[in-house]
Structure formats: C-alpha cells, structure tokens
Amino acid sequence: MSEPVDPSEQKMRFLFHLRSRGVTDPRVLDAMERIDRGVFVRGHFEDRAYDDTPLPIPCGQTISQPSVVGLMTQALAVGPRDKVLEVGTGSGYQAAILALLCRRVYTVDRHRRLVAEAEEMFRHFGLTNITAMVADGSRGLPEQAPFDRIIVTAAAEDPPGPLLAQLKIGGIMVVPVGQSDAVQTLIRVRRSETGYDYDELRQVRFVPLVEGLGQA
C-alpha cells in the first residue's frame, strides 16, 4: 500500500505535470488550480482524478485528459470578454475552466443526465456564467451565435459546417478531427475576413461526436 498523498502535494504535482506537457499559460494554470478535477471524478476512479488520463463518466462518456484540456484551453486563447461555445459538456470540467477565463460559456451535450450533473458542479464552484443545455451540438447553437470561440470535445470526421458558420470573424475554434476509433488530430481553425485557416496541433483521442440526442 502506498502512503496517502497530501492534497497540496498532489495539486503541486498535478500542475507541475501540466507544465511539463506544455501547458504554460499562467491564466490556464491558475484556472486549472482553482477547478479541482477531484470534484468531477466520483466513485470507482476517484483515486485517479489527478492522473493525466481520461476517465469514465456516466452515459459511456469520458472526462478528458487534463493535459489535453489545458492545451485545448491554451490553444483557444480565450479573452475575458469572449462568448464561448463548448460542444460536449460531459462532466463539466472543461466548461468550468473556461468560465474563469471568459465572459460566458454556452455548453451543450446530447445526454440530459450529463447536463444535469454538470450543472450541479457549476453550482458547487459558484460559477454563474455558464449556460448548459441538452442539444445536438453538431448543429451549433444558432440562437446564441456568433461565438468568439468554439471548442469541440468530441471527434468529428470534419469540422461541422454549422460550427464554422457560427464562428465570428477573428474567432478561433479547436476541434479534434478523424475517425472515432482511431487517433485523431486536434486542429485549430481561425476565421478571417476571407475564409478559414487551419493548423494541426497534436494527436488526440476523443469519444465520437454523435448526431441527435441521447437516450438519457
């Protein structure tokens, strides 16, 4: 049996590891220090909450790997006045981190249960600038568009057209693309006056973006 780990020591190691994986933006690190991942990981996998690995959540989904959450947040270059759309609420971890960095987060998931549980998390952290909704995020959120930033935390074969259309000029979208059961590529899309510029960030592995609403 290993010794129980002191929580502040554990947090220090967690942040140190994030830095070693390239999460260097002090605002992102600060947000990840304040939003404790341990609160989002309950039950069986509780003792692995600070490991740099995705973990199972209800509805057959996953809470993303912390270093990937950090790198995606950093790549999104969120500003304090931004309106952000997240597709794939999941546990609510990514949305909670974003909420500390921008003006308002709209987050959607196709599973009602996940949205309800994520809303409890937002209350726990006293976050009042997140609107969580049950919706098929592959269509975006037309009634709140356009967005300064869009983050997709499930893999699509291509960046969904409605999401590209709902990005402001000058806006940034981060989205994993590729076949769902293979390694995918995280891409960053910037919208300019004349079109879209794409750059590849790294290889990742996400659950698939599925059209339509879930059963629960």
Active site residues: 64
Residue 153 contacts residue 206 (beta carbons within 8 Å)? yes
Site residues (vs ligand SAH, CB under 6 A): 61-64, 87-88, 90-91, 93-94, 108-111, 114, 136-138, 153-154, 207, 209-211
What's the min distance (Å) between Cβ of 192 and ligand SAH? 27
- As given in the structure block, the two tokens for residue 75 are 């790549």
Return the half-sphere exposure (C-beta side, CA atoms, 13 A cut-off) of residue 189: 25
What's the min distance (Å) between Cβ of 193 and ligand SAH? 29
Number of Cβ within a 10 Å radius of residue 214: 16
Rounded to the nearest 10 degrees, how much is the dihedral formed by the CA atoms of 42, 95, 9, 23? 140
Nearest to 107 by CA among 129, 82, 85: 85
Q: What is the rounded CA–CA span in Å between residue 67 and residue 85?
A: 20
Enclosing H/E stretch for 191: strand 184-191
